[in-house]
Amino acid sequence: MLKKIQEWRGKETSKSSLTKEELLKHPIPKHIAVIMDGNGRWAKKRALPRIAGHHEGMKTVRKITKAANGLGVKVLTMYAFSTENWKRPKLEVDFLMKLPEEFLGTFLPELIEENVQVRLMGNKSDLPEHTLRAVEGAMEKTKNNTGLILNFALNYGGRDEILRAVKNVAIDLQNNTITTEQLSEEVFSEYLFSNQLPDPDLLIRTSGEIRLSNFMLWQLAYAEFYFTDVLWPDFEELHLYEAINSFQQRGRRFGGI
């Protein structure tokens, strides 16, 4: 039982020697969603301010994006800022709102070269103008790219998303745009922020926490979960390989036998 729990939580070993070539012998998840947790703890361990951890975590986003793209992953959704994160100290929130501008300002040429398409998922209305300008500018410049979709969940909350969808469904029902008979899981999914994306196959959460934290509650219904004690700034390509390797060893029955 202990061994099973350790496998479930993603207890990596330094002796792991997984290679890209080995992974490519088996199906690669089309959509990987990541809860990037542990930036603050990473900084605290080094007696640094929390914002230093967020800055280091930004570098990990770049590294993992390249690794996922190299494996042929179609969508990589990064939980960058939740609707609950506004409760954090103003200094930290302000820094987090500047990170997309710095990240995309620094790495956008590389993302374009890698054929990566940038997208945004979340409530745009509360985002600062400079944050939204940076992300939408990157979206415009990469809209014709055909490689990995790098989807940032920014000012995103799963309950908020579902509630917004319900309200919009109610409006369309009232306006006779759709009927109750037409409403199905597939139709309802069209009202979500992720309506142009497949549901995630694999969810990765770093830092040892084992919860969803209001992330993609509808879309993760049949995703495989992978939890690891590694803090996000320490998350390397090999850790991604180990998560995908764990995914490849699971039987996905979707309620069947």
Residues involved in catalysis: 37, 85
Least Cα distance to 107 among 69, 153, 75, 51 occurs for: 69
Cα 94 vs. chain centroid, distance in angstroms?
21
Distance CA 210, CA 159 (A): 18
| DSSP H or E stretch at residue 149 | strand 149-156
Distance CA 222, CA 232 (A): 24
Which conformational region is residue 176 in: left (phi greater than 0), alpha (psi within -120 to 50 degrees), or beta? left
- At 81, the amino acid letter reads F
Residue owning tokens 């609950």: 84
CB 122 within 8 A of CB 78: no
